[in-house]
């Protein structure tokens, strides 16, 4: 027993135990990071679904409106909403693919931890955790690319909606107010009014 205890706490065995625990912790960090990505992707997907439903209500109100002539820029409104629906639908599909990809990566990272444990306990197939972990990282990389594409599409969606909002504002606003702004919503000539002292201005 004394010899066994001495063998257990010997520097070589202790180093092996520390290396084994370190190898087990590394996939756990990747699992935590992937879980955070799954959570954020799920939140974004929920917001996109809510956005689709809101646009559906808006286009339904426009289509079934009795007095269409009284609605400013009616045809442009319908066109923009249909375009936004197309973009938002594409975003939802990208998010679904990204979330599925992250779940696959999560599965492979968990499998990496299991394979490390098996290899450490039974001293067999010690090479298996490496390719399994690489596959998980590749899934994580591909999911990140999908999220970058979705972010770019979200930016384009916001830009399209803001452009229409400014166009509508210039159309319905009084002329003396509308002429102060260009098509991008910036004040012409750069004469931005100063903020009063009570609001933190000069």
Q: CA-to-CA distance for 22 and 20, rounded, in angstroms?
A: 5
DSSP SS3 for 181: strand
CB under 8 A, 24+ apart: contacts of 167-175: 167/73, 167/76, 168/72, 168/73, 168/77, 171/72, 171/73, 172/72
Q: Provide DSSP, 8-27.
A: HTSHHHHHHHHHHHHHHHHH
Q: Which of 19-23, 110-114, 132-136, 196-200 has the lowest mean pLDDT?
A: 196-200
> Residues of 179-197 as b/e, b for ≥16 C-beta within 10 angstroms?
eeeeeeeeeeeeeeeeeee
**Would you tell me how many other CB atoms lie within 10 Å of the CB of residue 38?**
19
**Residue carrying structure tokens 């820029």:** 73
Residue spans per domain, the chain: 28-188
Of 186 and 69, the one with more pLDDT:
69
Q: Is the pLDDT of residue 8 over 60?
A: no
Q: Pick from 54-68, 85-99, 163-177 the range whose average pLDDT is largest.
A: 85-99
Q: What is the pLDDT of residues 131-167, one digit of tens each?
A: 998 999 999 999 999 999 999 999 988 888 888 877 7
Claim: this prediction has a pTM higher than 0.95: no
Residue 21 confidence class, pLDDT cut points 50, 70, 90:
low
Closest residue by Cα to residue 77 from 59, 64, 90, 96: 59
DSSP SS3 for 71: coil
Q: What is the pLDDT of residues 170-182, one digit of tens each?
A: 776 666 665 666 6
pLDDT, residue 47, reads 92
């Amino acid at each position: 027993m004394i010899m066994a205890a001495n063998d257990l706490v010997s520097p070589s065995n202790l180093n092996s135990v520390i290396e084994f625990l370190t190898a087990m912790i590394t996939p756990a960090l990747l699992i935590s990071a992937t879980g955070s990505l799954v959570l954020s992707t799920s939140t974004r997907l929920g917001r996109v679904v809510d956005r689709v439903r809101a646009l559906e209500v808006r286009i339904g109100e426009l289509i079934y409106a009795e007095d269409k002539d009284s609605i400013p820029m009616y045809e442009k409104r319908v066109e923009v909403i249909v375009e936004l629906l197309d973009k938002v639908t594409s975003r939802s599909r990208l998010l679904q693919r990204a979330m599925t990809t992250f779940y696959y990566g999560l599965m492979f990272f968990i499998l990496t931890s299991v394979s490390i444990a098996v290899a450490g306990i039974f001293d067999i197939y010690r090479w298996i955790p490496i390719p399994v972990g690489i596959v998980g990282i590749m899934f994580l990389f591909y999911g990140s690319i999908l999220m970058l594409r979705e972010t770019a599409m979200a930016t384009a969606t916001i830009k399209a909606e803001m452009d229409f909002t400014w166009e509508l504002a210039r159309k319905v606003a009084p002329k003396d107010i509308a002429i102060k702004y260009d098509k991008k919503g910036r004040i012409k000539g750069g004469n931005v009014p100063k903020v009063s002292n009570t609001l933190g201005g000069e």
